[in-house]
Amino acid sequence: MLTWLITGASSGLGLAMTQKLLARGDRVAACVRRADALSDLQAQYGGQLYLCRFDMTDTAAMRGEIERAFSTLGRIDRVVSNAGYGLFGAAEEVSDAQIERQIATNLIGSIQLVRAVLPWLRTQGGGRIVQVSSEGGQVTYPNFSLYHTSKWGIEGFLESLAQEVKPFAIDVVIAEPGPTQTGFGGGLDHAQPMTIYDATPAGDVRRGIANGDFAITGDADRTVEAIIAVTDRQNPPQRVPLGSIAYDHLVATLGARLAEIEGQRELAYSADRT
């Protein structure tokens, strides 16, 4: 039996993962904002489900709950950083408050979660950190610039961190789902639209989402099953694309980026000292 800590466990991929892990007999420390968010699961699984309550923007409360969870449960094998949401709007449209909340939740909150669990993982001799990111951690869409900022940022943080903590037997896995039917769209924080962007790619994406034309091919249950299966491997890959859209977009985007870089070899080398 493994013990997992999962943030954002009351909905979407976090809830699906919590349910599947409990059903297979694992123990889950589910992190939520409302104490009654998982009352049905608590009644069904009893002591197999442990609840942590904090908001991702409250670092002090997070650290206290993480300490309590490790102290109570004795060992946590897998930490899944899943909590987050999307801010939708062109960069000029989003408000200062919306930007600050997006970065505080998705980026700073995720960073502080990892920082809070690291001393405990080191002390117990290792563990695994799983970040639920997005294909949007490496590719971009119009109207998601701040969401992409948070995902590109957390992926860079974790790629560096993975090198720092490898000697302590701590692994890092970054899951990158494509558009998946999870309710993510319903939870978007929308900026006030500016008509000047109606005839731009930002306007096209806005209409596509409003009309239901934005392709969503990912299945939440299958995505969660894939994340669990990869996390259970002895030597998992660091980055895991999930869904055909994510895979195709990542291959195309990274291939084009590499080709552009390779085409500038002479210019790049010209900047060296002679």
Which of the residues are catalytic? 10, 133, 147, 151
What are the φ and ψ backbone dihedral angles of 158, each rounded to 5 degrees?
Answer: -75, -30
Find the Cα–Cα–Cα–Cα dihedral 184, 186, 191, 193, rounded to 10°: 120
Letter for the amino acid at 218? G
Question: Sign of dihedral through CA atoms 191, 252, 232, 107?
Answer: negative
Dihedral sign computed on CA atoms, order 173, 109, 34, 11: negative
| CA 215 from centre of chain | 20
Phi, psi of 180 (to 5 degrees): -130, 145
| DSSP H or E stretch at residue 174 | strand 170-177
What is the b/e burial string over 169-204, where b = at least 16 CB atoms within 10 angstroms of the residue's CB? ebbbbbbbbbbbebebeeebbebebeeebeeeebbe
